[in-house]
Amino acid sequence: MAMRMERRSGLYATTLNPAALSFTPSRWEVSLFSADFFTNQNYGYVQNASVQEVLRNPDLLVLLEDLAVEPGVPTASKLPVDFYKNGRAFGVVQSRVSGPGFAFRINQQHSLGLSASGRFLLSSYRIPNFLRYKNVSKLDYGKTYKIEPVKMAALAWGEIAGHYAYRNFDGDVLFAAGITPKFITGIQSFYGSVNTDFNYTPIVADTISVGSASWDFGFTNDILYANDPTNYRPKTNGYGGGLDLGVSWAMPLDDPDRPEDYQWRVGVSIIDLGFVRLNKNAETHRIGFNQLTLLSGDTIQNAANISPEAAVKEFSNQSLGDPNQSKIGSAFTIGLPTMFSVQFDYAIRPKLYVQGYFTQRLPMYRHALKAPNTLAVVPRYEQKWLSVSVPVVWSDYSVPRIGFGARLGVFYFGSDDVLSWTGKNALTGTDVYVGLKINDFQLRAKQHKRHKNRRQIFNGGLRDKDRRWKDVGCWNQ
C-alpha cells in the first residue's frame, strides 16, 4: 500500500481516492508498469516458512499431524502445515497488473489521466466453522450436520480508466474532487452460493445425504469445456462499467513552495462501484429441493474424468433427476469489490509524514467480489527522489502485519507483510508490489520562470480571502 500513499504516487494513489491526483507535485507523469499481489486467509498456515521456501519446495509441504505419526522424518527437511480450529473462516486473493498510463495537470486546477490494467480477485468470507479442517476430517457416518450459508466469487477482468480531478481553495483549505470512470471487459468468472442452512449426512465413504438445500452457481465455461485448456487464450466474455469517486481537503503550510505542500490532508472515497455482465460462454445453475437426496461422489468424479460439463450434468441428474434441469440461464452479473475508504495524512515536520487509512467493503450485488477490510498506519520519509514507508496493517482486523516500501527515483517496491518473506512467523498469506513511473523533470535551473509565475497560480482565480496564497509558487522544484 505504501506505493499508493505518498504525495508523488499520482496514478497509483487514485486506486484509493481519485482526488489524490490533485496533490502530486508533478505536472505530468507516465506510468510504465506496476503490479501488486495480495493473499490472506485464516484457515491454515505453514509453520516458520517464507514465501520463497514454499514456492521453491512445494513438495516439502506436509500435514503436521502426519509428522506426529512419522517420528523418523526430520522436521527440518519439511514444511509443516497446520490449521486454525475455531470460528468462521475467510480467504482472499487479489492482484493487479497495470500497463502504460499517463496524467497531467492543466491550468493548476484540472488534472486528467488515462490508464489500463488487468485485475483478478477471488474471495469468500464467513465460511462456516463446520468446514474447518478439524471438523471435516473427522465426520461420523450416519450423523447429521447443519451447514450454514456461504458465498464465493471470482473474476478476472480488464479495465480502461479515465481520471479527472479538480482542485481550488475553499477559504483557507485546498479542496479537491476526483472521478475515475472505467470501461470493463470480463474475462473469466464464477460464483457459488449456499443460500440457506441445510442438513448434511455422510452415509458411506463417497455417498452423502442432503436435505432442504438451495444452491446457486455460475461460471464462464470456455476454459472448462475447451478441448485443450493448456492452450487457452483469454477472450472477452462480457462487459461492464465502474466508477471511483473521491474528495479531499488539505490545509497548506504557512509558507508553502507549492499548493500541494500541506500540513494535513483528509479524504473520503468510494472505490470500484460497478459490475460486469458475463453473457458469452456463461451458464447459471440452481439446485433446490425440500427432501432428502443421496449424492454419490464416485459417480460425479467418474463423470468429471470425462469432462467438467459431464460432471455438472451428473450433479444435476443426481440432485434433480434431470441432467439439464439445474441450468437456468446463460448470463450472470458479478459486482465489483466496492469499498468505502477514509484517508488522513499529516506532516509531522518537513519530509516526515504519518498517514492512516481505513477501507470497508460494501457489496452492492447479490453475487459480488469482496475485498479485505483494512486499517493501516503508515509513517514515511519523503523527498523528491526518495521515500521510505513502514506500514502497520490490519487486514480484516486480524493480526497486524509490518511492511516496508520505498521509492528510489522512478522505481517503487515493497510489501505490507515483510515477515512472510523472512519465514519468522506463521505463513498465512503475503503481499508484494512494484512499479515504474516517470515524473516531470522540472529542475531549479528554471527557478527564474517559477518566480515569474508566482502570481499566476490558478490563473489569477483567487478570491480576496485567498490572497495570502497569491505568492505561492506553482512550479515543481
pLDDT at 74: 54
For residue 446, the model assigns a pLDDT of 46
Separation between Cα atoms, residue 54 and residue 130, nearest integer Å: 28
Taken in order 262, 3, 1, 378, the sign of the CA dihedral is: negative
Domain residue ranges of the chain, discontinuous segments joined by +: 2-30+127-397, 442-477
pLDDT at 2: 64
Q: Are the C-beta atoms of 64 and 96 separated by less than 8 Å? A: no
Grid cell digits, residue 230: 493448456
The cell numbers describing 302, all together, are: 467418474
pTM: 0.89
DSSP collapsed to 3 states, the chain: CHHHCCHHHHHHHHHCCHHHHHHCCCCEEEEEEEEEEEEEECCEEECCCCHHHHHHCHHHEEEHHHHHCCCCCCHHHCEEEEECCCCCEEEEEEEEEEEEEEEEEECCCEEEEEEEEEEEEEEEEEECHHHCHHHHCCCCCCCCEEECCEEEEEEEEEEEEEEEEEEEEECCEEEEEEEEEEEEEEEEEEEEEECCCEEEEEEECCEEEEECEEEEEEEECCCCCCCCHHHCCCCCCEEEEEEEEEEEEEEECCCCCCCCCEEEEEEEEEEEEEEEEECCCEEEEEEEECCCEEEEHHHHHHHHHHCHHHHHHHHHHHHHCCCCCCEEECCEEEECCCEEEEEEEEEEECCEEEEEEEEEECCCCCCECCCCCEEEEEEEEECCCEEEECCEEEECCCCCEECEEEEECCEEEEECCCHHHHCCCCECEEEEEEEEEEECCCCHHHHHHHHHCHHHHHHHCCCHHHHHHCCCCCCCC
CB 88 within 8 A of CB 12: no
What is the per-residue pLDDT across 257-313, written as a single tens digit (0 to 9) for each? Answer: 676 788 999 999 999 999 999 999 999 999 987 777 878 888 888 888 888 888 899
Q: Residues in the chain with pLDDT < 50? A: 443, 445-477
Q: How many residues are recorded in the chain? A: 477
CA–CA dist 456, 73 (Å, integer): 75
Give residue 116's pLDDT: 97
